[in-house]
Amino acid sequence: MRKLLQREFAGFITLALFLIYLAFAAPSFYSLGNLRDIALANVSVLLISTGMTLVIVVAEIDISVGSLFAICGVCGGLLARGGLPIWMLPFAGIAIGSALGAANGGLVSFVKAPSIVVTLATMVAWREALNWATGGAWVENLPANFQWFGLGQAAGEAVLFSATAVLFLAILWASHNLPAFRSIYATGSDAEAARLAGINTKLVVFAAFVLVGALTGLASVLNAVRFSDVPANAGIGLELQSIAAVVVGGTPITGGRGRLMGTLIGVALLGIIGPALTYLQLSPYWEKAIQGGIILVTVLFDALASRAEKRPALA
Least CB distance to other proteins at residue 290 (A):
32
Q: How far apart are CA 159 and CA 165, in angstroms?
A: 10
Burial (Cβ within 10 Å: 0-12, 13-18, ≥19) of residue 289: exposed
Restricting to residues 239-298, name those near other proteins by CB under 8 A: 256-257
Whichever of 195 and 226 has its CB closer to other proteins, that residue is 195
Q: How far is the CB of 251 from other proteins (least distance, A)?
A: 13
* Cβ-Cβ contacts under 8 Å for 219 (sequence gap 6 or more): 43, 44, 45, 47, 48, 69, 93
- Which C-beta is closer to other proteins: that of 115 or that of 175? 175
- The contact pattern for other proteins, residues 180-209, with x = CB under 8 A and - = no contact, is --x--xx--xx-xxxxxxxxx---------
Query: Does residue 307 touch other proteins according to CB under 8 A?
Result: no
Instruction: Determine, following the binding rule CB under 8 A, whether residue 315 of this chain makes contact with other proteins.
Output: yes
- Cα torsion 190, 191, 194, 196: sign: negative
Contacts with other proteins: how many residues (CB under 8 A)? 25
Q: In terms of DSSP H, where are the helices of 82-190? A: 89-109, 115-134, 153-177, 179-189
**Closest CB to other proteins among residues 83, 192:** 192
Could you give the CA distance from residue 243 to residue 183 in angstroms, rounded to a whole number? Answer: 22
How many whole angstroms from its chain centre is CA 275?
19
- 137/174 with CB nearer other proteins: 174
Pick between residue 71 and residue 199 the one whose CB is nearest to other proteins: 199
Residues 53, 245: Cα–Cα separation, whole Å: 9
The reply to whether 313 sits near other proteins by the rule CB under 8 A is yes
Q: How far is the CB of 212 from other proteins (least distance, A)?
A: 22
Query: Distance between the two ends of the chain, CA-based, in angstroms?
Result: 30
By beta-carbon proximity to other proteins, the closer residue of 255 and 271 is: 255
| CB of 253 vs other proteins, minimal distance in Å | 15
In the region spanning residues 3 to 32, those forming contacts with other proteins, defined by CB under 8 A, are none
CB of 304 to other proteins, least distance (A): 16
Identify each DSSP E strand in the chain by its residue range: none
Distance CA 164, CA 43 (A): 7
Give CA separation, 308 vs 76, 257, 295, 296, 311, in Å: 49, 16, 20, 19, 6
Q: State the Cα–Cα distance between residues 199 and 187, nearest whole angstrom.
A: 8
Comparing CB distances to other proteins, the nearer of 112 and 311 is: 311
The amino acid at residue 231 is: P
Q: Which is nearer to other proteins, 74 or 261 (CB)?
A: 261
Distance, CA of 292 to CA of 315 (rounded, Å)? 40
Question: Of the ranges 47-55, 96-104, 173-181, 277-285, which one interacts with other proteins (CB under 8 A)?
Answer: 173-181
Shortest distance in whole angstroms from residue 254 CB to other proteins: 10
Contact set for other proteins, span 86-125 (CB under 8 A): none
Q: How far is the CB of 83 from other proteins (least distance, A)?
A: 39
Contacting residues toward other proteins, per CB under 8 A: 176-179, 182, 185-186, 189-190, 192-200, 256-257, 311-315
